[in-house]
Amino acid sequence: MAPRRYAHEGVLIRTLLPTVPAPGVQPNFFLSGGFVLVRIIKRNVFLVQTRNTNELLFVKLVHRVNRPGIHGIQPGEFMYDEPPEFRISTAEAATVLQLPSDPPQFTRLRTYQNNNEHWALYFEYCNGGTLESFRDQYYQKGWRVPEHFIWHVMAELCWALSYLHFGIATNMQNLARPSWEQLRPADGWRPCYHRDLDMSNILLHFRPRRGQLAAAGYKPNAFPEVRLADFSDSASILDNAHHLRPGKFPNEPIPNAWEDVYQLGRILRSLCMTHVRFPMDDEHNPNNVIPNQIKDESLRWDHRPDSRRLDHVNAIPGNGGQLYSSELMRILREFEWQNQENAQVDSIGNKGNAVQDMAWVAGYLLPTAHDRIREYTRGRKRNGFYTELDVSWAKPWGPMPMVIDRADPNLDATLENAGLLGPDSTAVGVEPIGLEYVAPNVTENLGGP
């Protein structure tokens, strides 16, 4: 008897840019068969599956403009000869800085195409989703993010920023505290800045397990890969600010390090607050009420973490997880600043009080975090040790191709708004495609990821 099947219609994209690969880039087999659209992330940003290899890729379509519009350089636009995501990337031909692929603290640019002013950039897919979705999973349950994971994120992001700024490319397994000589950029080094450090731009990846499970558990599920993504606002110290998008702080006249350092602290402090309900989610808990405060959490994570002090947060019980150590709280308090509950960090006089410098991040924060991680990972561990630290439950389900209804009168409008149809689109051969799958033989509750 033939296996049962289920089917739906999806979207076939024969090519996203009608061109051969850029000079110096070998044609890729996984590009030649076209793509199945999996998800529209936003205009000109998609998750696709290659038809030849079934590999998942993030793709961005961007184009060059000669001058900014009245509202400045918009998302998907760039003014230099190459897009920022290529100038600072893992590509061998990156024109400003080639990022290392190993250790994998940066998302890999698998390949790219360009056709005069239009570019298609193909990035690897990370199966753990964003750090933002990870945080939200813990918030929904009212659980504390485990401390070992916060140290892990700290170490990986500090390493990524230290490489961008100083060129520190050290084997993380043998990391020592960098000397002050190492914290001065080498001759010819162009310090670079991400400028949009955000949880939505940090990706997690869980390596698949091979072989027999160790008695201690599977270590990579407790310490997934943490990758810094989306360099669309990135810049080097020598760049012309008029040719760049403004980053997180539009009023900053030139690219600088404090933006990245402040956002680093914001991310780490936010991870310590997932067990605390927002006032609108838990109005009956007096600990959550913030009277007479400008950052009253009505804007939720746009107000946090600056809306609350770590000492107060650590005293609030959650549904799960231990209190954070005094060492972690002491270090993260270095990112707190006077009157943070009522004033913006980029207000006059605040930046110097709110933000440590990159020398502190690379020379103290990075090796300190690395030392804590080594305590978790070195030596023989008791049975179930890593199983208890496992955070892979927050990993999202594997994505399925987008489902369409050919009779939907809004289908063309949806694809045009996504940048796949219309006069400005570079996509060629966008059409419905039938997709068929073997029906799963489910004999027990699948549980979770």
How many other β-carbons are positioned within 10 Å of the β-carbon of residue 199? Answer: 19
Q: Strand, coil or helix: what is 295?
A: coil
Q: What is the pLDDT of residue 448?
A: 39
Please name the helix (run of DSSP H) or strand (run of DSSP E) that holds residue 64, with its range, or none: strand 56-64
Q: The tokens 């640019």 sit on which residue?
A: 109
Range(s) of the chain covered by CATH 3.30.200.20: 5-127+399-438
Contacts of 82 (CB under 8 A, 6+ apart): 95, 119
Predicted confidence at residue 245, as pLDDT, reads 87
Burial class (CB in 10 A: 0-12, 13-18, 19+), 141: middle
The answer to whether 391 and 400 are in contact (CB under 8 A) is: no
Name the maximum alpha-carbon separation found in the chain: 75
- The reported pTM is 0.91
CATH placement of domain 131-394 = 1.10.510
The two structure tokens encoding residue 261 = 């350092």
Interacting residues of 55 by C-beta distance below 8 A, sequence separation 6+ = 30, 49, 125
Tell me the C-alpha distance between 56 and 294, whole Å.
43
Q: Where in the chain is the domain with CATH 1.10.510?
A: 131-394
Using alpha carbons, select from 298, 280, 282, 267 the residue that is nearest to residue 365. Answer: 267
Return the residue matching tokens 């400028």: 195
How many other CB atoms sit within 10 Å of the CB of residue 283? 11
What is the rounded CA–CA span in Å between residue 441 and residue 4?
Answer: 9
CA distance 356 to 367: 16
**Residue 195 carries which side chain, given as an amino acid letter?**
R
pLDDT tens for the chain, residues 1 to 449? 455 577 889 999 999 987 655 555 555 676 888 999 999 999 999 999 999 888 999 999 999 999 887 778 888 999 999 999 999 999 999 999 999 988 789 999 999 988 878 999 999 999 999 999 999 999 999 999 999 999 999 999 999 999 999 887 654 445 556 665 666 776 778 899 999 999 999 999 999 888 888 999 999 999 999 999 999 999 999 999 889 888 888 888 788 899 999 999 999 999 999 999 998 887 666 566 688 899 999 999 999 999 999 998 988 887 877 899 999 999 999 999 988 999 988 887 777 777 788 989 988 999 899 999 999 999 999 999 999 999 999 999 989 899 999 899 999 999 999 999 998 899 988 999 988 876 665 544 434 33
Reported as type and span, the H/E element at residue 30 is helix 29-32
Beta bridge partners of 6: 437
Cα–Cα distance between 94 and 100 in angstroms, integer? 11
C-alpha pair distances (Å), 108 with each of 86, 131, 138, 230: 11, 17, 27, 11
Give the C-alpha separation, 154 to 226, whole Å. 10
Q: Could you list the beta-strand ranges (E) of 116-220.
A: 118-124, 192-193, 202-205
What's 5-127+399-438's CATH class?
alpha beta
> What length does the chain have?
449
Residue 247 has which token pair? Answer: 């980053």
Contact 176, 367 (CB under 8 A): yes
CB atoms within 10 A of CB 144: 25
